[in-house]
Structure 1
Amino acid sequence: MSSKIQKPLFREYIIASDLLKGFPVEIISPRIPHFHFLLAFASEDYVEDPNTKKKLGKGNFRATWDVKKFSPESIRNLKSEYGAKVVISLGGRGTDFPFNPQDKEIWIDNAKKSLQHIITEQYKGPFGTVIDGIDINYEYIESSEEDFAHCIGKVIDYLKTLISVVSIAPSNLSFPITRSCSRLNQTVLTGSTTRFSTDPNDKGNISLEVFIEGALQLISSASLSGIFVSDAQSSLDSEPSHYVEGKAQKLLTESD
């Protein structure tokens, strides 16, 4: 490879966790300066529009992951031993979890309160929250670009004193949000990142070979800043376990 990635980022989504005993720390490469686990998802509640039958979000978020398995104490130990960060991912996969507020201002108010509760109460540590940031990850966005940017921007602005990292899953709506949050002190993760899913349900999306080739091309042009892999349990259940995570981190650190 002809180009070196400055401070590469690797992120691992934790969605289902039946087979996981906790954070899969064995996949962490000491050569990766920025390693994040993403707890997915903090999902909101919905009501049905009686006319369109579409789902309308109310903005009341709750953690859908195993909060006992991924507890504040386990996060403190993770940070102490490995220096990894933990981010909560908002939204969800599929049409059951769209971004489509029933009322924008009520959605914003509910989101502020419910997310603050997760961050400062459920994940309260001796010196404040153990959560480092939030990841915006709605697979289906049914509102306008302006409404999406307005609502998410307001929530991020409100949480700015609690978190240090904000990320936005790949979407053509990322840039308006980034602009609306440009005044914040947080790290807003944008730029060229690539993502691979080990979920068997996604096997028709992109092959591992195509993913690796694409990553190599981005690295050669010095335009890749990080790799996201989804998800930890699916990777554990594959053969060999967590192969993609190891390969991806080697690509990022040029240690192949």
Structure 2
Amino acid sequence: MESRQAVSSTLFLLFLYTANATNSKLFREYIGAESDTIQLSDIPVNPEVEFHFILAFAVDYTSEDSPSPTNGKFNVFWETNHLTPSAIASFKQKHPKVKLAVSLGGDSVGNGKAFFDPKSTNSWVQNAISSLTGMIKEYHLDGIDIDYEHFKTSPSVFADCIGQLITRLKKSKVISFASIAPYEDIQTYYQALWKKYGNSIDYVNFQFYAYNDIGVSQFQDYYKQQASNFEGGQVLASFMSKGGGGLHPNEGFFQACNELKSRGKLGGIFVWSADDSIGNRFQFEKQSQQLLAA
């Protein structure tokens, strides 16, 4: 039997855990990387949640046909058949609470990897600010997401380039929020960024689907670990709507999220990606938003 002191200590720790707890109704979804028919209007939007679309991707490379790095001069690489400036403006007019961001980098360009490859911090930052400011204004966007996954530089250079970009875009009010999309294998880069510029980063889209297939308890352990790694940040739970690893939406993901929510620890949910969800008629998007709104 536990002593009164041990019980008191346990209750105190539980109090601290729940006192600092906070749930979020934030739902985020990547769109535009894999389908040239996807439209914003295809995806159901629950008015009770805070909804962010994230355009995937803008990359500081030349055209996809013969890609080469451009030292921070970003170009549009998402599918633009329907994700146009006029379509975005029209959608936001109908859904004034919905916000849009553009994700930078991604995994690949054409048949090769999309590397973070600055010639210098100053020149990369200047080029990135100029090119992204024009893109963000043209497409009526609200924020940026950082999803570089391959690097030809050090973590400290990555941290300084991205950190300066975020803080300067925020200071000039070009964007109102910024997020990062790390996963376990590239933690060194994103931890360096978080350590120096974490106060300027609003959301952590941690790619839990980059882990091997896991169960509910393992997912919760990983979530707790990443909440600690990005202490003070708003970490979102995540899944892939088609394939991938991590905890699948039909194999316990929503159970895990409900348990996190019951402890006041669910920072939101994001999905990769709308393009892949067409086949199941956005079933998991609907479930995610219902869970967050409840």
Q: TM-score, normalised by structure 2?
A: 0.69
Which of 34, 47, 51 is matched with 1:35 structurally? 51
1:12-43 per-residue CA deviation (whole Å, 9 max, x = no partner) reads 110223232x20354111211x1011111001
Taking a change above 3 Å as real, the CA distance of residues 140 and 76 of structure 1, as seen in their structure-2 partners, is: same
Q: Secondary structure at the match of 1:153?
A: helix
1:35 partner amino acid = F
Instruction: Check if 1:17 corresponds to 2:29.
Output: no
Q: Is the 8 A contact 2:36 2:82 kept in 1?
A: no
The letter of the residue matching 2:178 is V
Which whole-Å CA distance do the structure 2 matches of 1:86 and 1:56 have between them?
25
* 1:134-145 equivalence runs, <5 A: 134-145=144-155
The one-letter amino acid paired with 2:181 is: A
**CA distance in 2: counterparts of 1:5 and 1:25, whole angstroms:** 31
- In 2, are the aligned partners of 1:178 and 1:188 still within 8 Å (CA)? no
Gaps of 5+ in 1: 47-54, 124-129
Tell whether the 8 Å contact from 2:24 to 2:292 is kept in structure 1 after alignment: no
2: CA distance between counterparts of 1:227 and 1:250?
Answer: 11
Give the helix-richer structure, 1 or 2: 2
Q: Secondary structure at the match of 2:36?
A: coil
Structure 2 equivalent of residue 108 of structure 1: 125
Q: 1:38-57 to 2 correspondence within 5 Å?
A: 38-45=54-61
Match of 1:234 in 2: 276
SS of corresponding position for 2:257? helix
Look up the match of 1:52: none
Aligned pair count reads 229
Work out whether 1:89 is the aligned partner of 2:103.
Answer: yes
Answer yes or no: is 1:195 the counterpart of 2:238: yes
Higher percent of residues as strand: 1
- Structure 1 stretch displaced more, 4-13 or 224-233: 4-13
CA distance in 2, matches of 1:139, 1:43: 12
Residue equivalent to 1:155: 165
Q: State the shift of 1:103 in Å.
A: 3.2
Once the 2 structures are TM-superposed, how far is the Cα of residue 118 of structure 1 from its aligned partner? Answer: 1.1
Deviations 1:82-114 (A, max 9, x none): 220010111112560132334333222221222
Identical aligned residues as a percent: 33
Deviation per CA, 1:50-102, whole angstroms, max 9, x where unpaired?
xxxxx866222111123452222222222222220010111112560132334
Q: Is the 8 A contact 1:86 1:132 kept in 2?
A: yes
Say whether the 8 Å CA contact 2:23–2:266 is kept in structure 1: no
Farther-moved stretch of structure 1 (134-143 vs 156-165): 134-143
Who is 1:78 aligned against?
91
Could you state the TM-score of these two structures normalised by the residue count of structure 1? 0.78
**SS at the partner of 2:57?**
strand
Q: Give, in whole Å, the separation in 1 of the partners of 2:267 and 2:132.
A: 28
Distance 1:194 1:183, change over 3 A: closer
Note if contact 1:24-1:232 (Cα within 8 Å) is conserved in structure 2: no
**If you compute each CA radius of gyration, which structure gives the higher value, 1 or 2?**
2
* Unaligned segments of structure 2, at least 5 residues: 1-17, 63-67, 204-232
In 2, the alpha carbon distance for the partners of 1:24 and 1:174 equals: 33
2:270 maps to 1:253: no
Q: What whole-Å deviation, never above 9, does each CA across 1:179-227 have from its counterpart, x for those lacking one?
A: 544666xx72232211111244x2x454221432332332222111111
Alpha carbons of structure 1 residues 146 and 219: separation in structure 2 relative to 1, 3 Å:
same
- Measured on the aligned residues, the alpha-carbon RMSD in Å equals 2.6
Distance 1:148 1:118 in 2: 22
Q: Is the 8 A contact 1:92 1:139 kept in 2?
A: yes
